[in-house]
Structure 1
């Protein structure tokens, strides 16, 4: 076998080569020992794992080397697993590697080896060329070593569609009562993704609930059922529907886009005005969102607006009142109320 084969292999695998890789390419143990003794070409990182000299160094390379050194069945987990899946993690994180099977032994300098008693929800896949645990199990384990990092990891995984809030709640229930050390951190992170005790479908619904609370809008029913449809929010005591639109969910999918518009026209025809709010507005213009919803409340439910403003004088309804009291729509709604 040509040593150039190892160089080529290393360039495709984070600049790393292991003895297991070399044997697959036809190298003997004697050949391997002779080869890695050449410090001009290889740097020994762990027993039977070397870095090709000149290959860029990275945190991912350190994680990959540790997983290779731990042997078959090892995978990145906890902090390292979260990073491999792209969640924000500090560069000086300890390296976490999980070994399945209580009889396995591995001692690696600078690496935290985890041997789980609870084998539920384990399942590895390859990300960035590294064997790593699945997002649900990473969330389950991360709180035991870094409670403060759980929310960011959950947010990252939910936003990319790798988990949803309901699946995380289910895995939390499965692992509770088993000496589960990371449960409190995951539960606290999960609560930030609940709206009125129900799992949110997206970050946008969580943002909408925050806008309602921060700006003193009238109460809204989350995931209300209207004429057989589930809507994101229904302003309590009115027929006003508020829908939160993300481009990837409601824009790119043509079928979903057409279905949304069909639902809107039906609801409007039956007396349920629909106000759609985009992701960009929810994230970057929350005050404008609040003012426009307040304007709709004055237009379609002025009596409710007056009562709510009396109960909460700091409500955004107060800012919306001057422009809308004189509008034809508002006058007509006031006459009807």
Structure 2
């Protein structure tokens, strides 16, 4: 790989050079693959490299080297032209050491971006579980928590909200539900169909402008006209006062169920 003299290497160039230096069959993997694919929370460096076990090892002091008994052909892809493991494989690779919350966020972020799904995760589980890999239990649990019809949260705020609901012992809510109103189709961030409660998560970035607030008022009025209660939760409430948010949600859901029972 050639660079112009004096030109600083970009992160992509650094990854590519490290992969090429690692020898035949080597590819970017783990955190590096997830970064290349655009999964938030992961860095390109230090570069993670996976090589076939028994291959020629060319240690690079700046890289984290891994070996694998077998890298299936459908577990390898080109990302930005760089030989890499697939995102699905990278999730299994990080599962051995990642904190469960970080793994959950990575799975949901990849799922939201259509970088993985239930079928691909199950196929990888069937293959890798036979090899006795570390992290299989964590990935099995992650897959079991997400069925084939799973809809991943679209933001970190939504992930934290659903985590808050689970930690409070409340039944899970449906995610990203489409609903018809007099002003057209809208989406509920989270929905309790038995209580007919629409829980909305408001970030400062997307719900504080005058136009955003005006739309939210029109939208919520149209939703209420369909006999659905709208409960809005600010990002500050979800992140910094989760007990208060969980208590308020619990009360709204209880009132809704009592209303429709």
For the superposition of Structure 1 and Structure 2, which TM-score range results when normalised by the shorter chain? 0.5 to 0.7
* Alpha-carbon shift at residue 169 of structure 1 (Å): 2.5
Summarize the alignment of residues 54-133 of structure 1 with structure 2, pairs less than 5 Å apart.
66-71=18-23, 74-78=26-30, 80-82=32-34, 87=41, 95-98=48-51, 105-109=55-59, 111-114=65-68, 116-126=70-80, 132-133=84-85
CA contact (8 A) 1:80 1:95 kept: yes
* Alpha-carbon shift at residue 142 of structure 1 (Å): 3.3
* Alpha-carbon shift at residue 77 of structure 1 (Å): 1.2
Q: Show the counterpart of 1:188.
A: 141
Secondary structure (helix, strand or coil) at the match of 2:126 reads coil
Instruction: Determine if the alignment matches structure 1 residue 238 to structure 2 residue 191.
Output: no
Residue from 2, 6, 12 that aligns with 2:9 = 12
Instruction: Determine if the alignment matches structure 1 residue 285 to structure 2 residue 234.
Output: no
Residue from 78, 89, 103 that aligns with 1:137 = 89
Q: Deviations over 1:17-65 (max 9, x none)?
A: xxxxxxxxxxxxxxxxxxxxxxxxxxxxxxxxxxxxxxxxxxxx6x665
Q: Deviations over 1:186-233 (max 9, x none)?
A: 2334556x49x844324444433443454466x464246755765344
Larger Rg belongs to: 1
* Alpha-carbon shift at residue 234 of structure 1 (Å): 3.7
Secondary structure (helix, strand or coil) at the match of 2:74 reads coil
Taking the aligned partners of 1:220 and 1:179, their CA distance within structure 2 comes to 30
Segments of 5+ residues of structure 1 without an aligned counterpart are 17-60, 305-332
* Alpha-carbon shift at residue 274 of structure 1 (Å): 0.8
CA contact (8 A) 2:32 2:42 kept: no
CA contact (8 A) 1:68 1:74 kept: yes
Segments of 5+ residues of structure 2 without an aligned counterpart are none
Taking the aligned partners of 1:107 and 1:214, their CA distance within structure 2 comes to 45
Q: TM-score by structure 2 length?
A: 0.62
Q: TM-score by structure 1 length?
A: 0.51
Q: Show the counterpart of 1:152.
A: 102
State the Cα RMSD in Å.
4.8
CA contact (8 A) 2:91 2:107 kept: no
Higher relative contact order (CA 8 A, sep 6+): 2
- Residues 163 and 239 (structure 1), Cα distance of their counterparts in 2 relative to 1, 3 Å cut: closer
Taking the aligned partners of 1:163 and 1:242, their CA distance within structure 2 comes to 22
- Residues 109 and 229 (structure 1), Cα distance of their counterparts in 2 relative to 1, 3 Å cut: closer
- Residues 122 and 109 (structure 1), Cα distance of their counterparts in 2 relative to 1, 3 Å cut: closer
- Residues 262 and 137 (structure 1), Cα distance of their counterparts in 2 relative to 1, 3 Å cut: farther
- Residues 212 and 125 (structure 1), Cα distance of their counterparts in 2 relative to 1, 3 Å cut: closer
CA contact (8 A) 2:166 2:172 kept: no
* Alpha-carbon shift at residue 286 of structure 1 (Å): 0.9
Residue from 113, 119, 140 that aligns with 1:170 = 119
Number of residue-to-residue matches in the alignment: 238
CA contact (8 A) 1:165 1:199 kept: no
